């Protein structure tokens, strides 16, 4: 008989669904404004060697940003399906997928800083993203550990 899903895993799926849906919808619907709002992109950018400024959203690639939003919306949907599931066999692959996504996303945030010293640390959303990802890595890891 298949093992039932724990209450903590169901809660993890629910919280992940909400966070992924909020960030995913914002990035998918209004990429430049979202990145400006969270401080990832400055509202205005001083052009080097001039007195001229440009809106920071000029430097946002809306396609890539919307692609991330789409991925987060898909993960929100998968978390919804995980939240609705009742047995471990229904979500085992999904927990592994969610854990892998969080690990790869965390590495994606850390590599540019480690390799080139990019000063993205000024953006508060960077820190929030790191904390959220580490929290989910722990939660998914605990779920995988409890299942075995």
Residue 55 in any domain: the answer is yes
Q: What is residue 11's predicted lDDT score, i.e. its pLDDT?
A: 96
Residue 135 in any domain: the answer is yes
Residue 17 in any domain: the answer is yes
Q: Tell how many helices (H) and how many strands (E) occur in the chain.
A: 5, 2
Residue 95 in any domain: the answer is yes
pLDDT in tens, 44-80: 777 778 887 777 667 778 899 999 999 999 999 999 9
Number of structural domains found in the chain: 1
Angle of helix 7-29 versus helix 124-147 axis, rounded to 10: 150
pLDDT in tens, 6-35: 999 999 999 999 999 999 999 999 998 888
Q: What is residue 17's predicted lDDT score, i.e. its pLDDT?
A: 97
Residue 1 in any domain: the answer is no
Quick one: pLDDT band at residue 123, thresholds 50, 70, 90? low
Domain that holds residue 106: 7-147
Residue 66 in any domain: the answer is yes
Residue 123 in any domain: the answer is yes
Around 136, how many Cα atoms within 13 Å sit in the side-chain half-sphere?
28
């Amino acid at each position: 008989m298949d093992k039932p899903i724990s209450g903590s895993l169901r809660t993890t799926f629910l919280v992940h669904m909400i966070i992924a849906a909020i960030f995913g919808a914002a990035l998918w619907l209004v990429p430049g404004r979202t990145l400006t709002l969270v401080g990832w992109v400055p509202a205005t950018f001083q052009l080097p060697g001039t007195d001229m400024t440009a809106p920071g959203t000029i430097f946002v690639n809306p396609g890539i940003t919307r692609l991330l939003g789409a991925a987060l919306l898909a993960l929100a949907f998968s978390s919804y399906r995980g939240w609705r599931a009742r047995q471990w066999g229904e979500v085992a692959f999904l927990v592994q997928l969610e854990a892998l996504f969080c690990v790869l996303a965390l590495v994606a945030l850390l590599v540019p800083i480690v390799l080139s010293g990019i000063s993205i640390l000024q953006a508060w959303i960077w820190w929030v993203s790191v904390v959220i990802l580490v929290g989910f890595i722990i939660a998914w890891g605990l779920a995988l550990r409890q299942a075995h």
